[in-house]
Amino acid sequence: MLHATARLPGVSLTLPADFHPVPLEADLAARVAAQTELLDALSMAAGDRREMVALYLEGLATRLRAADIAAAAFCAVRVDDHASTATLTVGFHETATTDRTLALLGTAAGLRQGGAAADVETTSFGRQPAVVWTVDVPAENPDSVAMREMQVLVQAPDVPVAVLITLATPTLQDWRLYQRLMREVCETLRLTPAAAPEQGAEAQVLLLSAPQPDVEAGASPAS
């Protein structure tokens, strides 16, 4: 949870092909308008499928806003002969230090000792030092599904705030594909100096569309 006076860095990421930003506007009318614009951009005509995706977007937006997510994107494609989905989120977390090396090494050590995370590594993306790990999230109830998450934490310079980028998918047979896409996204990471707290977390994250499609062989938009 962020303190109301936290100074947040600006974040920009370039999304891979078939990933689309999820409208997270606080105002319901503005959010519905943005969802409609997205559905139109996806060339979804009126019908059951458009209504289903609209409900999915609103449910996702409600859940993510409650979790203090600053920005999110989703994809829904077909890989070979099956449907495949993933969600990418960006959030901010306060840390105990502005020392980037200390923060990342401490995070990595804590994850390794905790035992819940796998494949913990320290690396860098977009010239930013980072910690990367994987977590399996079991289904909470019969109506939910098990998820696998790849998480990347980057300590911002000069302020005690970290950026957490998460890619989650229930489609575990495509995990290697999503691992590669997540690393490609994080290589585009750019941070700008922390802004005044009154600007708000939502204004700090910019999700950009990829300039050139880079669709995995065998993948196509979900139908």
CB 182 within 8 A of CB 153: no
CB 163 within 8 A of CB 154: yes
Tell me if 201 is assigned to some domain: yes
Q: Write out the chain's pLDDT in tens, 223 residues.
A: 666 667 889 999 999 888 888 877 777 787 777 777 777 776 655 666 677 777 777 777 777 666 678 888 988 788 888 888 899 999 998 888 899 999 999 999 999 998 889 999 999 998 899 999 999 998 888 877 889 999 999 999 989 999 999 999 999 999 999 999 999 999 999 999 887 666 554 558 888 887 654 444 445 444 3
Token pair for 156: 């911002």
Taking Cα atoms as reference points, which of 105, 99, 153, 148 lies closest to residue 125? 153
Tell me if 77 is assigned to some domain: yes
Model pLDDT, residue 222: 46
User: Looking at the whole model, is its pTM more than 0.85?
Assistant: no
> How far is C-alpha 63 from the chain's CA centre?
13
Token pair for 57: 């977007």
Tell me if 34 is assigned to some domain: no
Token pair for 161: 């705030």
CB 201 within 8 A of CB 11: no
Tell me if 42 is assigned to some domain: no
Q: Which domain holds residue 92?
A: 8-21+69-221
Q: What is the C-alpha to C-alpha distance for residues 130 and 121, in angstroms, rounded to an integer? A: 8
SS3 111: helix
Model pLDDT, residue 1: 60
Tell me if 64 is assigned to some domain: no
Model pLDDT, residue 223: 36
Strand partners, 168: 87, 149
Tell me if 1 is assigned to some domain: no
Tell me if 120 is assigned to some domain: yes
Q: Identify the CATH number of the domain in which residue 130 sits.
A: 3.40.1000.10
CB 41 within 8 A of CB 35: no
